[in-house]
Structure 1
Amino acid sequence: MLKNALFVLAGATLFYGCATNAVTGRSQMKLLPESQLQQMAVTEYQSFLSSNKVVTASSNNRDAEMVNRVGQRIINAVNAYYRQNNLSNDLSGYQWETRLVQSNEANAWCMPGGKIVVYTGLLPITQNEAALANVLGHEVSHALFGHTNERMSQGMAAQFGTNILDAFAANKTSPGVRQLFGAAVGVGSQVGLLAFSRKQELEADHYGIIWAAMAGYNPQEAIGLWQRMQAKAGSGSTPEFLSTHPGPEHRIEQLQKFMPEAMKYYRPVNK
């Protein structure tokens, strides 16, 4: 069965072609229209917010104010980077939003098109604003680099073969496709079904600390963050974040390798 699925997947890739990411330079299998994924994201995002308690800055909640502030600075950094590299057109369709929701889960995610959510349960692990910025930089990178598209493409190609586009158009409001979308983003109870690949994780780590640095946050806080993540997992209480973002053995080692580049962008800003 697995061999057949991989055969279909390979055939679909050849049929629809690959796309090269302008930032990472990696060739990616993205079989679904990004614009339609962004439309789907708006619907799923609104559905999520309507069924969860949103913590607003207007309620004088300092955590909500912090999340909004960090989110906006990361967004500004991404916009600046893409503008400086003549890639602003790649952000077409992005309508950024950042929300904090009340939940004991230690999680955060960013949907295609820039819908960002942080769970209150993550904040005791991040502990500070700079660490949160590194998380949001990581999550935004997953969205920017089409990782949701890659993961959904893989899952749908295994189910529908070369009819993937027709199947997506016909089924994008169905519970199965919506569940697949949630799993690909990192939302819901099925998040562990689609873990990000090693390449995707390295890309998100690499550029996530660059966005954080450009936003004025110390990228070195990413090291302490992942040490706390690993300690939490080792205590027998695994953060939901690690369901789709496994702590690879050499993650901190790789972050250290990326750090000199990120530090070139780091200019501290006043809070």
Structure 2
Amino acid sequence: MKKVISLTLVLLFVISCSTVPITGRKRVNFVSDAEILPASFAQYESFLAENKISADVGMTNEIQSVGMRISKAVDQFMRSNNMVSEANSYRWEFNLIDDPTVNAWCMPGGKVVFYTGILPICDNTDGIAAVMGHEVAHAFAKHGQERMSTGSLLQLGGTAVALGTAKKDPKAQQIWNTAFGLGAQFGIMLPFSRSHETEADKLGMVFMIMAGYKPEEAVNVWIRMSERAGANQAPPEFMSTHPSNQTRIQNLKAFLPEAIKLAEKYSASTTVN
């Protein structure tokens, strides 16, 4: 049984390995769009039914306008780079929720939510574009599907550890299971999540440039986020799902010249009207 699980882990890793466009990062994803998108769309509709949509027509229109420009840039990129079936699977939608939470998110398939609480951090249209580009990038890179795939692999790994220690005394079993759990959390899932956030920051900057927005504002968004945090003690970065604000500011400043070059590279086939 242990050999079967080990072989399954190896086969799943090899068969499901693909590359994230633009960044070139290798990813493991064996969750198909056909599996995840219907559930994603249904969950989005349930969320909208259970939460208060903002009555601010002007701000809602701005969120939707920015979202459509960035999603159009992404759509045109996909269609010009042999990703037509993927482009057809997206159902872009952008909504503003009346909630003071400082957050925004995008579900697989292009369903986006902004909370009114993040608008002061955005501050202006280019700031909205920076946050929008980041959230759209999560869907574009299929981070949700990749997290599900990795979670499934770790479950199999946990089963393998349990089977491998079945004949050991209970104390040894506990030590092995605890070690595997901590290793999976701090050695795989948290660094994995931070890498997704960094990748979304970079892709989002490229997308906002392609859509005609000022990329410098992506840096300013995180400066404002850092100022808002103030003296509040954040957990050490290695214990967090996200890079620190200062890390993101430094990374985006360093990436800005490359983002401009990448946007120029792809702009010929992704012109936004």
- Which TM-score bucket, shorter chain as reference? 0.7 to 0.9
Q: Is 1:255 paired with 2:252?
A: yes
RMSD between aligned alpha carbons? Answer: 3.0
Instruction: Report how many aligned residue pairs link the two structures.
Output: 226
Structure 1: how far apart are the matches of 2:120 and 2:221?
11
| CA positional deviation for 1:84 | 3.6
Which SS does the other structure have where 1:216 is aligned?
A: coil
Q: 1:29-55, CA deviations, whole angstroms, 9 ceiling, x for partnerless residues? A: 112222211111011101111100112
- Tell me, yes or no, if the aligned pair for 1:64 and 1:100 is still in contact at 8 Å: yes
- Tell me, yes or no, if the aligned pair for 2:94 and 2:112 is still in contact at 8 Å: yes
Q: Of the candidates 84, 89, 92, which is equivalent to residue 85 of structure 2?
A: 89
- Tell me, yes or no, if the aligned pair for 1:20 and 1:26 is still in contact at 8 Å: yes
What TM-score do the two structures reach when normalised by structure 2?
A: 0.72
Aligned residue identity for 2:61: E
Structure 1: how far apart are the matches of 2:59 and 2:233?
23
Unpaired segments of 5 or more residues in structure 1? 1-6, 164-192
Structure 2: how far apart are the matches of 1:237 and 1:84?
45
Aligned residue identity for 2:248: R
More helix by share: 2
Query: CA 1:37–1:62 in 2, change beyond 3 Å: closer, same or farther?
Result: same
| CA positional deviation for 1:12 | 6.5
Q: 1:187-228, CA deviations, whole angstroms, 9 ceiling, x for partnerless residues? A: xxxxxx978633322221111011111211101001110011
What TM-score do the two structures reach when normalised by structure 1?
A: 0.73
- Tell me, yes or no, if the aligned pair for 1:103 and 1:119 is still in contact at 8 Å: yes
Query: 2:19 corresponds to which residue?
Result: 20
Unpaired segments of 5 or more residues in structure 2? 1-5, 160-188, 235-239, 268-273
| CA positional deviation for 1:8 | 9.4
Larger Cα Rg: Structure 1 or Structure 2? 2
Runs of 4+ in 1 over 6 A off after TM superposition: none
Question: Percent sequence identity over matched residues?
Answer: 40
Structure 1: how far apart are the matches of 2:118 and 2:157?
38
- Tell me, yes or no, if the aligned pair for 2:93 and 2:111 is still in contact at 8 Å: yes
Which SS does the other structure have where 1:105 is aligned?
A: coil
Q: Of the candidates 107, 115, 133, which is equivalent to residue 111 of structure 1?
A: 107
Q: Of the candidates 208, 214, 224, which is equivalent to residue 228 of structure 1?
A: 224
Which SS does the other structure have where 1:197 is aligned?
A: helix
